[in-house]
Structure 1
Amino acid sequence: MTDTTALPESAAPAEPATARLLAEAAGRIDAPDVVLAVSRNGARTVHTGGGAAPGPVPRERLAHELGSASKPYAGLLLARLVAQGRVRYEDRAADLLAPGFPVHPTVRRITLRHLLTHTSGLPGLPADFYPQAVPRWSTDPYGGYPADRVVRAFLRARPRHRPGTRWHYSNFAVSVLGHTLAAATGTPWEVLLHQQVLAPLRLDATRVRPGPEGTEAVGHRRDGTPVPALDTGGFTAAGAVRATPLDMLTFLEAHTAGTGLGDPESTGPGLTGPGLTGPGLTDPTLAAALAEVRRPVLRRGLRHTHTHTLTWFHHPSPYGPVLFHAGATLGQQAFLGFRPDSGLAVAATATRRVHRADTFVATAYGLLTETP
């Protein structure tokens, strides 16, 4: 039930050592379906496995729910809109979302940067989210909380902390960012993401809504029961992206390509990967956005040991800095990570969320930080 291959579009054959490493890592993850994918400067090795029998569509070509690993897509979108001059990081969200609407003075000070970097002072989710979510926590907690309700919750919020003073992870804040960018550009979030990120990077198998039957990975509870496809309701920007592991690699390869994306003559690391060709990738605003989201912008925690970019967690490793983000939905998990200095990218998915003693994130993170 496992397979390790160098994909036909890879720049080089699979390295035996990498193939063995992925196979060993997959064995540590308990899930019906597992995909571990590595790209080294565009040369890809992908291992698929898991406890279930393979289906008619290869696992690496099924769209998986990324959950919170959707946030780097939102971050790249914001960075590109800023590079285009359509918005600014310091624009106040309430002014763009509802000009003239009376809000709390603290809410008035919340900027687009605050929303994306989890420094807005907003809670993880709106206070009135939980009463409607708890009765269906294991089936559909978000579907009953639509976009207009997210916006209303933001406009009447009373943040506990002044924006920019504390870091607190917030799906609420990133969702508000999505609605704010849609309002500022007059373009629905899904269309905006496609125009600014998915189409230029040739991410043809990435979307924010479930695709046709047979094209989506199916998540599972711990006991193996299938989980319905996730409906994120009004929290689209924070967790609605669905992508195949191959498209996930393409997204990461763009980040490892350095400034070469802005130079039509460049053939730098990552530019040989599938999808990383075409006139859209010579756009200087895309190159600027990709550079911007890699730049560390804040530190937090004891002795400020935790570093973040606009949208990625940023850690040291023996092989240089690593940037990563993980996500989970009711029955799926995803991991995205890359090392900008060495052109290594890791994409991983699993169709079970265990909660306790789960090895998925640690295994994927180890591939990113420990692989020479």
Structure 2
Amino acid sequence: MDVTLLPGTTRTLEHLLAREQSSSRLPSVVAGLVRGGSLVWSGAAGSTGVEAPLGARDTQYRVGSISKTFVAAAVMRAVEDGLVGLEDPVRAHLPELTDGVGRVSVGQLLGQAGGVQAETDGPWWERTEGGDWDSLLPILGASAVRHRPGTRFHYSNVGFGVLGELVGRVRDSTWRDVVATQFLVPLGMSRTSMRPQAPAARGLAVHPWADVVLPEPEHDAGAMAPAGQIWSTVADLARWAGVVAGTSPVLRRDTVEAMWEPQSVDDARGGPWSVGYGLGLQLWNVEGRRHAGHSGSMPGFVAMLRVDVETGDAVIALTNSTSGFGDLPSRLLSTLATQEPLSPAPWVPREVPADVLELVGPWYWGPTPLLVRATSDGFELGGMTGRGRASRFVPAGEPGTWRGLDNYYAGELLRPVRGADGAVGHLDLASFRLTRTPYDPGADVPGGVDPRGWAPRG
């Protein structure tokens, strides 16, 4: 997609970036916006702390926990290939973990629902040289599981250290090589690496009460590296945004859609959920719209990659300050949405299979009116008056049956039932009968239909 932003939009974005660099006292900050799979805007402000000039697209920053999305994608590729199951206990692939983390499922670790301790027992791992897998093993026993698995959101860096080892083990490799082979090379992400490669920003801490900075340490985090090791650029993360958006060939679309589904919800504040966690992706509920991606922080760096899953628009923001930025990524993304709204795709006629065409139109679940509309890959069922359970359906394995994709009927089967004349008389959906008229007496409605029919009184 060839997208050129209006000059007024570009000026607004550049102003937002410059204002954030000044007000948040950031040594440097770079950002980019993605639309239609292309980086349509990028900007930079400040200084990297090294002699190399600041490049909006190609200066490396440490991306912290955005690294987890690469590890999660590698796990999901192993699921696609039948090497791993999301319900597998971790010990099925790392047999040395006989207890504790070993009994947590792969899916629970991916979804930050395993109850595993957040950090290591030793010194602050993000600021000290990391050890190998054997050095991490002693803390992965029974005491590492702080909450009953599957019951609550509990963010765990340790859990992703375990997932990194699992990815390497099932591929007879290392997680670093798996990520490079499966993702970085095919996507052309040549400026994404495990350690900094010039030009790279220097990680800095900004004094809270004085305009002075302090260099932060940089090191190999060893067994904990899967939780936050990776360095990348705006241009490379723009390519990775396509994976998070489900438009890249390196992961199947249905795999990414599964990663968008909340596995745990951060409901510490009560009320409607605003932040959750999918299979290796952070999720945000923005006024009913779902965003997916991940934030990241390591000493000296803060990062954000965030995708509106409905439109595919994405924002990337990177800074070399431990304190980081505020809501800059959200403001950049909302500016793109409001000042450059996406035009709807033009309507054109298309082929609709006969077995779908005969189902479209009104149906009734008891007295509740529903409507079937054809879609590109099947049909959708929804209420006509704001009531009724909605779901999309696609062909199931058995000829003439349909499988629900989402909401209440996700995974449930719908079967059209034909009469003696061959026409569809009713729909059998998860034991319910959907009929062409309310409680059609000729449609084998469970419990029967009162022979007196509809009347002013019962």
Give the CA deviation at 1:318.
5.1
Structure with bigger strand share is 2
- Within the alignment, does 1:295 sit opposite 2:296 as a pair? no
User: How high is the sequence identity, in percent, across the aligned residues?
Assistant: 24
Confirm or deny: 8 A CA contact 2:104 2:149 kept in the other structure.
yes
95, 98, 109: which one pairs with 2:103? Answer: 109
Q: Rate the CA distance shift 1:191–1:251 in 2: closer, same or farther, 3 A.
A: same
Q: Rate the CA distance shift 1:311–1:141 in 2: closer, same or farther, 3 A.
A: same
- Within the alignment, does 1:340 sit opposite 2:340 as a pair? no
Deviations 1:240-282 (A, max 9, x none): 1111111011110333354xx4xxxxxxxxxxxxxxxxxxx3x
Unmatched tracts of structure 2, length 5 or more? 207-211, 339-458
- Within the alignment, does 1:320 sit opposite 2:286 as a pair? no
Deviations 1:59-87 (A, max 9, x none): 42122101112111112111111111111
Separation of aligned partners in 1, 2:300 and 2:163: 26
> 1:298 corresponds to which letter in structure 2?
S
- Within the alignment, does 1:58 sit opposite 2:88 as a pair? no
Deviations 1:2-47 (A, max 9, x none): xxxxxxxx83334323312321221223222210111122251001
> 1:289 corresponds to which letter in structure 2?
T
- Within the alignment, does 1:187 sit opposite 2:176 as a pair? no
1:71 paired residue number: 68
- Within the alignment, does 1:121 sit opposite 2:115 as a pair? yes
Give the CA deviation at 1:326.
1.1
Separation of aligned partners in 1, 2:30 and 2:81: 36
> 1:199 corresponds to which letter in structure 2?
V
SS at match of 1:215: coil
Q: Map 1:107-256 to 2 at 5 A.
A: 107-127=101-121, 129-130=122-123, 133=124, 141-155=127-141, 157-211=143-197, 214-222=198-206, 223-256=212-245
SS at match of 1:235: helix
Separation of aligned partners in 2, 1:308 and 1:60: 28
* TM-score of the superposed pair, with normalisation by structure 2: 0.65
Aligned length: 323
Give the CA deviation at 1:201.
2.4
User: Which moved further from structure 2: 224-233 or 59-68?
Assistant: 224-233
> 2:104 corresponds to which letter in structure 1?
I
Q: Map 1:345-360 to 2 at 5 A.
A: 345-354=314-323, 360=325
RMSD over aligned Cα, in angstroms? 2.6
Separation of aligned partners in 2, 1:36 and 1:57: 12
Structure with bigger helix share is 1
SS at match of 1:196: helix
1:366 paired residue number: 331
Confirm or deny: 8 A CA contact 2:246 2:257 kept in the other structure.
no
Tell me: higher relative CO, structure 1 or 2? Use CA pairs within 8 A at least 6 residues apart.
1
* TM-score of the superposed pair, with normalisation by structure 1: 0.78
Separation of aligned partners in 2, 1:119 and 1:80: 20
> 1:250 corresponds to which letter in structure 2?
R
Give the CA deviation at 1:308.
2.5
SS at match of 1:47: strand
> 2:78 corresponds to which letter in structure 1?
L
Separation of aligned partners in 1, 2:160 and 2:48: 35
Answer with 1 or 2: which has the greater Rg: 2
Unmatched tracts of structure 1, length 5 or more? 1-9, 262-280
